[in-house]
Structures are given as C-alpha cells and as structure tokens.
Amino acid sequence: MKTVLITGATAGFGRETARRFVAGGWKVVGTGRRAERLEELSDELGAGFHGVVLDVTDVAAMRVALGRLPAEFAGIDLLINNAGLALGINPVPDVEVDDWFTMIDTNTKGLVAITQALLPTLIERRGGIINLSSVAGRWPYAGGNVYGATKAFVKQFSLNLRADLHGKGVRVTSLEPGMATSEFTLVRTKGSAEAHDKLYSGANPLTSEDLAETMWWIGNLPPHVNVNSLELMPVSQSFGGLKVHYD
C-alpha cells in the first residue's frame, strides 16, 4: 500500500485529495496548522489517515514532525506540496509587506524545505512530487504581484527538480489550476464571505473535487510517465489580453 503526504489537508484541495487517496486505498499523511480539522478528518477517514499538526513556515519543527512519523506512515511515495495562500487582492503600492513575506515563507520557503526533507525517502522509493503552482504563476494580473511570483517560483523549481533528479525515477509535476472554490478567497480577503460569493457565484469554477481527481490521476499514472506541468481552468475563465494606457 502506498503513502502520500499532503500539506494543507485541513481545507480545500488538500482535504478533498486526502479523501480521494484514502478512498483509493492509499495511506495518507495530512498536515496543516488547524489541529481540530485534522482530528475531524481522522474521524472521517479512519486508520488510513494520519494527521500531523505542522506549520510549513516553521522549518525546524517541520523536520522534527516528519522524523516522528509512525513507521507505517513513514515511507512516503508521493509528496503533494499543496499548502499555500494568497494574501491581499490590491495592486501595488496598496499592499502589506508582511503579507508578501508570509506568502514567500509559505508558498516558496516552506515548500522547498519540506521537499528537501523528504527527498531521500522519495528517491529511495522512486516516488513522486506534485507541487501546487497556479495560473497566477504564468498569467499576470493586477493584484497578483507576490502571490503570482511565488507560483512562478513553484513552477520553475518543479522543472529544475526534474533536471536534478534525472535518472533517479522520481516524478515531478507542477500543477497549475485557475479559479477554484475552496477557502482560498476567504483567506486572501481575511474573511470576506462577500468577496468569496462575488467571485464564484455564477462562475462555475473548478472545485476541490476536480483538483483531487486530477491529483489522483497524476499520482497513479504508470511509473514511466511524467506530467511536467499541467494548467487547467474552468471553461468560464480565459484571457484578458494586454492593456495600453493613453495619456
């Protein structure tokens, strides 16, 4: 039986993906800062799920927590680097620099730290890594500033990982979704249910289930197949084109 470690399993894509992999017969290690959410998921999913309270920005504590995984969950075959967030929707200069630092610490530093910590196991087991990038890492938009930049980092780090892992049998994917419902916009707007409803209502966005199914597919492809990067959007979302400002 294979084991997947999913960061950010307390909500959104991560939680649905934990459900999908347990349903498919994998063991799942789910992480996040909210202990009560992990307990709820553990009650729901049973013995196939092991929750670990973990803040990906606390690298020292993260390494200790991974070192303490119970033996039956310690052999990680697939790492899903899903934990991440956007903070703020305003274009510069109307931004909080501390929000920028939190996004950088979580989406980039946390992601590379947990990847580095699990690489020996993943190489030994010829495992896989799915990194959550975003359309925001490729398509610029006003207000995307540092969030989009962190996701461009995730995409390029994923491709560079592939280059470094050449010949080792480890698969790496940069997964780049567009607009999807989850707690993402609530977090981004620091709790505005109105902003959440306005963005998604009537837009028929991607769902966390869509992302879970996509990750299940990637994670269960034959071992010789690598999806380098995969961008997906809801049909309702497309491209705005370039703008010109006239004096």
Which entry of ligand 8X3, ligand NDP, none binds 55, CB below 5 to 8 A by partner kind?
ligand NDP
The whole-angstrom distance between residue 52's C-alpha and the CA centroid of its chain comes to: 16
Residue type, 22: V
70 in Cβ contact with 50 (< 8 Å)? yes
Q: Terminal CA-to-CA distance of the chain, rounded, Å? A: 64
Segment interacting with ligand 8X3 (CB under 6 A) among 18-26, 42-50, 130-138, 190-198 = 130-138
Nearest to 32 by CA among 155, 229, 49, 167: 49
Q: Give the tokens for residue 204.
A: 């028929």
Q: Give the tokens for residue 97.
A: 């620099």
Site for ligand 8X3 (CB under 6 A): which residue of 134, 145, 150, 174?
134
Q: Is 136 in the site for ligand 8X3 (CB under 6 A)?
A: yes
Closest to ligand 8X3 by CB, 169 or 178:
178
Q: How far is CA 231 from CA 14, 34, 42, in A?
A: 18, 29, 31
Task: Write down the catalytic residue from 141, 147, 200, 246.
Answer: 147
State how far the Cα of 139 lies from the Cα of 242, in Å rounded to an integer.
11
Q: Is 38 in the site for ligand 8X3 (CB under 6 A)?
A: no
Q: What is the CA radius of gyration of the chain?
A: 18
Which entry of ligand NDP, ligand 8X3, none binds 75, CB below 5 to 8 A by partner kind?
none
State how far the Cα of 186 lies from the Cα of 233, in Å rounded to an integer.
20
Q: Is 24 in the site for ligand 8X3 (CB under 6 A)?
A: no
Is 147 among the residues known to form the active site?
yes
| Residue 143 C-beta: closest distance to ligand 8X3, Å | 9
Q: Is 179 in the site for ligand 8X3 (CB under 6 A)?
A: yes
Closest to ligand 8X3 by CB, 29 or 175:
175
Q: Is 143 in the site for ligand 8X3 (CB under 6 A)?
A: no
Q: Which residues are CB-neighbours of 240 under 8 A, at least 6 positions away?
A: 141
Residue 191 DSSP one-character state: S
| Residue 177 C-beta: closest distance to ligand NDP, Å | 4
Q: Which positions touch ligand NDP (CB under 6 A)? A: 7-14, 32-34, 37, 54-57, 82-85, 106, 132, 134, 177, 179-180, 182-184, 187
State how far the Cα of 110 lies from the Cα of 116, in Å rounded to an integer.
10
Q: Is 111 in the site for ligand 8X3 (CB under 6 A)?
A: no
Q: Which residues contribute to the site for ligand 8X3 (CB under 6 A)? A: 134-136, 144, 178-179
